[in-house]
Amino acid sequence: MAYRVLGRAGPPQPRRARRLLFAFTLSLSCTYLCYSLLCCCDDLGRSRLLRAPRCLRGPGAGGQKLLPKSRPCDPPGPTPSAPAALAPAPRLPAANLSGSPRLGTKRLPQALIVGVKKGGTRAVLEFIRVHPDVRALGTEPHFFDRNYGRGLDWYRSLMPRTLDSQITLEKTPSYFVTQEAPRRIFNMSRDTKLIVVVRNPVTRAISDYTQTLSKKPDIPTFEGLSFRNRTLGLVDVSWNAIRIGLYALHLESWLQYFPLSQILFVSGERLITDPAGELGRVQDFLGIKRFITDKHFYFNKTKGFPCLKRTESSLLPRCLGKSKGRTHVQIDPEVIDQLREFYRPYNVKFYETVGQDFRWE
């Protein structure tokens, strides 16, 4: 009896120790198994939720296109800290979104073609755009007459990107006859260079009417719109086609803000007979080298005005669109004579103001 009591009070037998060790090991194994199952199920659910096998993006996709469902996944890489499908796509620098080299900065224009409608503004714009030091907006933004409330940041956003050595140019012919335009442009920059393409006001009015007639065939005759009373010789200056040709009156508003040295007047007539000569004056005015010369032009007999020859960047010759060079409607010669007499004093005053005789009489 004493032996049994002493045995129970002494150290545990080897069999009992093995049982305890086995139970402890089994407990650890079960715990590890449960943890592994939970993690596996969680990963499985997340994989189904994110549809990882579809491989949303692949090499060379730039994060822009979904790959076909049948395309195999990319080789596994280092484990990310967050699921790849939830990670934000890398953002490229703003200037390189297209993948092309940096093209410069969007700036407010240093020069504007402000007028006049049907004078040859589109020709000047297309011709001067050939110059490597000029970048021009192709459309007419009408900022200083219709969209001024949008602000200069909106206006700047429309401009093409330019390098420091390049000039930003914009054309909207209606600026010249907009009363508020000179002040608004001056507030943007008092150093802005202004180009005004002018043309015989009678011819310009007929061209304006011809364009309107092509869009609205039911409008009154040119004679009916030009005169309040033809017998008395009363011209209707409220008609826009007539009013635009009063160049001397419109110029007064501009000279309140800009000196003549900042305004270049281009002859619409000479632009047809000597495009290289007029473009030479434009290049000198903008302070750029004379890159555009006679070699860039040829005369298109069908259209009746010069076109650009093909260049290294353009394999085909470039002419203005079909809306340019329309055949003018026939006008009674007596009506033309009356309008010439009406415009004569305004033309003379314009010649004297700008120091240039356009010989419209």
Annotated binding site for 3'-phosphoadenylyl sulfate: 118-122, 199, 207, 324-328
**Active-site pick, 65, 106, 118, 193:** 118
Residues 6 or more apart whose CB falls under 8 angstroms from that of 202 comprise 245, 336, 339, 340, 343, 360
Query: Rounded to whole angstroms, how far apart are CA atoms 35 and 31?
Result: 6
Angle at 294 between CA 288 and CA 296, to 5 degrees: 80
Alpha-carbon torsion 107, 113, 114, 117, what sign?
negative
Instruction: Judge whether 118 counts as a catalytic residue.
Output: yes
Residues annotated within a binding site = 118-122, 199, 207, 324-328
Query: Rounded to whole angstroms, how far apart are CA atoms 210 and 189?
Result: 36
Here the tokens at position 244 are 């635009």
Segment 350-355 long-range contacts (CB within 8 Å, at least 24 positions apart) = 350/198, 350/247, 350/248, 350/251, 353/248, 353/251, 353/255, 353/260, 354/251, 354/260, 354/263, 354/265, 355/260
Residues involved in catalysis: 118
